[in-house]
Structure 1
Amino acid sequence: MTSHLPPHQDNSETLSLSAIFPFAQSTSSEGTPFQIKSLQWSAPSEELTSAFEAFAEALLEQGVATDNGGMTFRASVEPLDCRIRPSRYRDALLAEAYELTLDPDGICLRGATPPGVFRGMMSLVRAVASAPFLRAGIVTDWPELATRMIMLDPARQNENFGYYRRVIRWAARYGINTILVHLTDDQTSCLHHEDYPELMHPHAWTREDIHELRNYARFYHVELIPEIESFGHAHMFNRRADYTDFLHEDRGTTPRPDWAEDPIAGHTNVLCPASEKSLHYIDQMLGNAAESFDHPMLHLGFDEVDMTQCSRCENRFSGVSRAEWFRRHLLACHALAAKHGRRSAFWGDMLLSNPEIMEGLPAEEITIFDWHYNSDVSSDSAELFKQLGFEVIASPSLVCYPHIILPSNQNLANIRNFAAIACSSDLAGLNTTVWIPQRTMSDVLWVGLAYAGALAWSAGSGPSSGDDVIIAQVGRDLFGLSDGVRFCETFKALSSLTLSLPELHLCAWADDDGLDKAAGNAASRAADDTVRCAKLDNVCNALEAMTPDVKREHDAFFALLHSAEMIRYALQHLQAAERAKTSDDSAVQKLDLCCIKIIGWIEDDWEKNRFSDDPNREGIHLPNQHLLHIFKQMHRYHQLLLARWKG
């Protein structure tokens, strides 16, 4: 069933084919606009059954029926001749290539492999969702990067499996083919192991949970890679009575970073390489991960390791340098991963700060995740790792310190620039990280995840794949908005107005000392904060004006609006500090009413996407980076002030 339109229409009816498929390598022969209301197809081959099921599900969400009266849709696996750039990963890039032939009388999709067919289907779904009127023509596409990854952090904040399934579906829609799952850290283990109950999150993932999620992900052509921190980031052992048998000593030689958990008396958060118990734990957890996940890679962590001295290590590794000490443990863990039939992956920061560690490593057996979260990221480290023979995955971040409430324009620039480096340096792929999920509401990240997927696919090299086109399409696709350009302008304005974590701490005074500090700084910031609040007023007004046009994913849209309102409230809270110091109870009552409303928004998001009985709901882990906890502390202090003045 088709609906033809004259060639001159406004808005989505006159979008060019390259704007409808903005990440595509090429579009050609633009012709008659037409609309898809329903599609029909013959029974698919066995290798394409799951792709067609996912395709039908996604089309139905857009109101496109799949019945016998619809436009004919054909899909097949066929060799494609694509002008793919010279690359050591050329075969993997070609495997996901596809060609879409669009015509009012029917649509034909050819993919080089079943994953290629699936990518073409998802591209068509995005087009239907974001531009109801398509154009006749041919779309040819393939990815610029073989591994297109996002990283989730359930170890810091576990979210429910309904949320993770939504992430998988949405990520796959934008070309993501791998998800790195960060399963252990200072706070908890999210990989269940019966021998270490003190370390487990109350909803730690069992083998059955993982098999179900892994199979769900594979349905959408997404693979899951586990990460087990095997050196640093092991603060959680302080919950065991025998923690001293596992952890490295602390002699105060390394400054404690401000993002870290409270210190453990006499010990760091590093698993001691000289401890048999530590090595046994690592072996147990790597074996469990290898049995639960079937990806050939195991990520072993090894980032941000405190390289202080330890008497146990001095006895076992007498006379060795710190670099040799580190290298020996890396090789021991690498051997454990190999024992379990897996390739090793490591974060690259410690190797960059201590290059001598890399001497003699079996580089061809190791993948380095090269992480840098600055917007002006350089290719230097990636090129170094590559020259030394390592496989390299560039790793920018959508959510990282010091950003809070929602991703900033710096995060977006970091992703864009690192994607371009990954392509130009012919790296294995791009891994966009999401760290410490309690910094934001879960539903605020959908636009950023799509952005990361689009750039991992295109590396910004498509004919129409600039930020504006990407974000405009995501706005139309995710929310059903008719004016994607207006959404893009508003989203970019909001991402330029975010708060850093130190700024939020200053604004969110929640005790007498914090109030004094806020009052002492408010005057010097007043002019800038007034301008910033005015810009946030414009953003909030623009988002509110779009609300009647939102057709789907209302929670995600309001998460953006509410995040903008949180930032504005925080700035207003700072400027109200002086009035609070003068016992202005009406001002504090007004602040508190808004604070209570914000707490309600965050709790609603928590109930939907996390576990209502999670102890971390009360901020037991990383409270200073815990959005819900920060606002609850503000509310408690408001109430304390009002009671103090009343008394």
Structure 2
Amino acid sequence: MRGFMLDSARVLESRAYYRRFIDFIAQRGCDTLLWHFTDDQGCSLQFDALNGCASPNAYTKDQLRELITYAQTKGIMMIPELETLGHTRYITRASDELAELSENNAEFTAICPVAPRTQEIIAALLDEVCELFDCPFVHVGMDEVNFGDHPLTQKALQNKTQSQIFADHLQFLHQHLAKHDRRMMMWADHIIKDTAIAAELPRDVIMANWQYDPIVPWQTTQTLLDMGFDVVLCSSMISHAQTLHPGKSYALPNLTETARQTREHDKILGSIVTIWTPQRFLHDALWPAVDYAAAMLKKQGYVPLAETLPSFAKTFYGFEPSATWINAMQTLFDHTPMRRPWVAAMRLETGDDLQGIDLQQEANCWQEVHDVLAGSRDDVTDNAEAYDTLVLMIRMMRHVWLRLLKFNQNTCDESLLAESQAIEKALGQTWDRERFADDPRKMTPVFSFDEVNHLLLMFTQGTERLQENICLYR
């Protein structure tokens, strides 16, 4: 397996985008698209067995079948990921009756694994998934599970450990998928933390080992291999720690080392690059990064960015890039901020997350990158909208640091506010083009803890605070 994971559960991108993404990765030697279509925030498929779970603009079965068939014509296998224990609020939010199956109200929760109704629902959903996806694998999620609070679970814990209950649920999933002649995949984090869970688990289960830190611990993979499992290594281009664009402080070393480790053992089946939570980023600004990640997947290791950018610019944007342009793009990858300071800066907050950051230097850096990329706009002959989105992202980055600098200095003025409002408008228009204008998640998170994942919302909050500051000191 060599490919990517897209998160269509939290926010749906446009129908055209998914086809375009399939084309893009197929042209770069990939063969797999892991389709993460269920999560706490939503479900991007209209299930027959579960009314009320579908997100706005969710695919009908016929529509998704067309996408699956399209992917097959391009040599891309779409693997469905149905969350079956944790990340299952798409089920428990579907009705008041199903809400009673929820384990707790924590950020990471679960559906009660011992309730008979849970197994009925999951079995019915798996039946529909297997009927729809012509794929030998089904990914059942199973990451970040937090259970033990439901009355039925508490009763079960009087006779069994959490590990045993977890393992029983896995056995149920495995047996049900075997009826459909499907091989089970799952996230490996709980197996790594608690190897007792794996004691009775069949060894034909494929472990998707997600490790997103810059230093990728080989021992986690070795543990799974020693237990006899096949493993797929999973890196992340966009994750909880770096949310706007991959950079060398976090995502890039993770991508590089994960790709390299695929060579280490014949029971490593491949590598998948995950891209989480679309409301964090502008997808049309990520094509250079997707191209770069695909190059590392193909080589199974490090590739200098300067080697991929010239051919990418020529084939995707239609122009021969200058050395100055390549250097500016290198700065983007080298200097992309981590999530915590970036979120604080967008919201015009101060505090420890911004310690050590020279705001003037940041603003100057992104101004230089913006000037180079914007200066090459007339040379672009292909995918002009995508290029404009890339330039918009850089413009936003420059503005975020500059407005925070002026906010701290109490030197905000109407021209700064006008620029902030213009960028906010452009971000909204970009959402409408890339996604669905009527999606309520555009400005309203499903959960309050998700607010820090909403780029447009946080930028708007910063603009509002800027306006309040100008009024205060006017």
- 1:459-478 aligned within 5 A: 459-460=300-301, 465-478=303-316
2:238 is aligned with 1:399: yes
Give the CA deviation at 1:558: 2.3
Partner of residue 28, structure 1 = none
Q: Which residue of 1 aligns with 2:440?
A: 615
The answer to whether the 8 A contact 2:235-2:254 is kept is: yes
Provide the C-alpha distance between the structure 1 equivalents of 2:384 and 2:433, rounded to a whole number of angstroms: 13
Q: Which moved more, 1:216-225 or 1:566-575?
A: 566-575
Q: 1:94 matched to which residue of 2? A: none
Asked whether the equivalents of residues 247 and 271 of structure 1 are also in contact (C-alpha less than 8 Å), the reply is yes
Kindly indicate whether the alpha-carbon contact (under 8 Å) linking 2:237 and 2:275 is maintained by their aligned counterparts in 1: yes
Structure 1 residue 234 displacement after superposition: 1.9
Taking the aligned partners of 1:321 and 1:156, their CA distance within structure 2 comes to 32
Kindly provide the CA deviation profile for residues 97-148 of structure 1, in whole angstroms up to 9, marking residues without a partner as x.
xxxxxxxxxxxxxxxxxxxxxxxxxxxxxxxxxxxxxxxxxxxxxxxxxx11
Structure 1 segments, 4+ long, off by >6 Å, are: none
SS in 2 for 1:248: coil
CA contact (8 A) 1:472 1:485 kept: no
CA–CA distance in structure 2, aligned partners of residues 455 and 188 of structure 1 = 31
Please point out which of 414, 419, 425 is paired with 2:254.
414
In structure 1, stretches of 5+ residues that fail to align are: 1-146, 251-255, 261-267
In structure 1, the residue matched to 2:427 is: 602
**2:144/2:189 contact within 8 Å kept:** yes
Instruction: Indicate which of 421, 443, 451 corresponds to 2:292.
Output: 451
Q: In angstroms, what is the RMSD of aligned CA positions? A: 2.3
Equivalent position of 2:383 in the other structure? 553
The correspondence for 2:140, drawn from 289, 300, 322, is 300
Deviation of residue 356 (structure 1)?
1.6
What SS is found at the alignment partner of 2:181?
A: coil
Structure 1 residues 578, 317: closer, same or farther in 2, change over 3 A? closer
Once structures 1 and 2 are overlaid, which stretch shifts more, 327-336 or 617-626? Answer: 617-626
Contact map agreement 1:475 1:487 (CA 8 A) in 2: no
Paired letter, 2:270: G
Is residue 199–residue 239 contact of structure 1 (8 Å, CA) maintained in 2? yes
SS at match of 2:319: coil
In the aligned structure 2, how far is the partner of 1:308 from the partner of 1:608?
Answer: 43
Offset of residue 633 of structure 1: 2.1
List aligned pairs for 1:467-546, cutoff 5 A.
Answer: 467-483=305-321, 485-509=323-347, 514=349, 517=350, 525=356, 528-546=358-376
- Tell me which of 462, 465, 473 is aligned to 1:637: 465
Check conservation: 2:238, 2:244, Cα contact below 8 A: no
- Alpha-carbon offset, residue 545 of structure 1: 2.8
Structure 2: distance between partners of 1:382 and 1:181: 23
Query: What TM-score do you get using the length of structure 2 for normalisation?
Result: 0.92
Moved more, 320-329 or 195-204: 195-204
1:193 aligns with 2:47: yes
- With over 3 angstroms needed to count, the CA separation of the structure-2 counterparts of 1:642 and 1:197, relative to structure 1, is farther
Report the CA distance between 1:641 and its aligned residue: 4.8
Q: State the one-letter code of the partner of 1:625.
A: N
Matched-pair contact (CA < 8 Å) for 2:407–2:469: no
Larger proportion of strand: 1
Question: In the comparison of the two structures, how many residue pairs are matched?
Answer: 468
| 1:221 maps onto 2:75 in alignment | yes
Number of the residue aligned with 1:176: 30
Residues 494-541 of structure 1, C-alpha deviation per residue, up to 9 Å, x if partnerless? 12222222212321336xxx4xx46x987x656x22223222222122
Shift of 1:634: 2.4
Is the 1:249–1:311 Cα contact (8 Å) retained in structure 2?
no
Distance across 1 between alignment mates of 2:97 and 2:164: 27
- 1:361 is matched with 201
Contact 1:619 1:628 (C-alpha < 8 Å) held by counterparts: no
Relative distance call for 1:455 and 1:485 in structure 2 (3 A) is farther
The residue that corresponds to 1:26 in the other structure is: none
Structure 1 residues 554, 242: CA separation in 2 closer, same or farther (over 3 Å shift)? same
C-alpha separation in 1, matches of 2:84 and 2:457: 29
Spell out the pairing of 1:84-483 with structure 2 (5 A cutoff).
Answer: 147-236=1-90, 237-238=92-93, 240-249=95-104, 260=107, 269-363=109-203, 365-409=204-248, 410-426=250-266, 427-460=268-301, 465-483=303-321
In the superposition, relative to structure 1, how do residues 377 and 593 fare at CA in structure 2: closer, same or farther (>3 Å)? same
Contact 2:79 2:139 in 1 (8 A): yes
Shift of 1:282: 1.0
The letter for the 1-side match of 2:451 is P
The SS at the match of 2:2 is strand
Q: Which moved more, 1:598-607 or 1:182-191?
A: 598-607
Q: Aligned with 2:273: secondary structure? A: strand
* Alignment correspondent of 1:129: none
Alignment-mate amino acid for residue 167 of structure 2: R
Shift of 1:334: 1.6
Q: Deviations over 1:332-389 (max 9, x none)?
A: 11222222331110001111111221112111x2111111111221322222212222
Aligned position for 2:399: 569
CA contact (8 A) 2:112 2:147 kept: no
Q: Deviations over 1:39-83 (max 9, x none)?
A: xxxxxxxxxxxxxxxxxxxxxxxxxxxxxxxxxxxxxxxxxxxxx
Equivalent residue number for residue 455 of structure 2: 627
User: Highest Rg: 1 or 2?
Assistant: 1
Quick check: 1:475–1:484 contact (8 Å CA) kept in 2?
A: no
| CA offsets 1:420-454 (integer angstroms, 9 cap, x no match) | 10123331011000000110011011112122222
Instruction: Give the letter aligned to residue 213 of structure 1.
Output: L
Checking the alignment, whether the CA contact within 8 Å between 2:374 and 2:391 is kept in structure 1 is yes
For 1:627 and 1:499, how far apart are their aligned partners in 2?
Answer: 14
For structure 2, list consecutive stretches of 5 or more residues without a partner in the other structure. Answer: none
Deviation of the 1:294 alpha carbon: 0.6
- Tell me if the contact between 1:468 and 1:485 (Cα under 8 Å) persists in the aligned partners: no
Structure 2 counterpart SS, 1:369: strand
Counterpart residue identity of residue 103, structure 2: H
| C-alpha distance after superposition, 1:458-480 (max 9, x if no partner) | 2138xxx5332123322222112
Distance 1:249 1:375, change over 3 A: closer
Q: What's the % identity of the aligned pairs?
A: 24
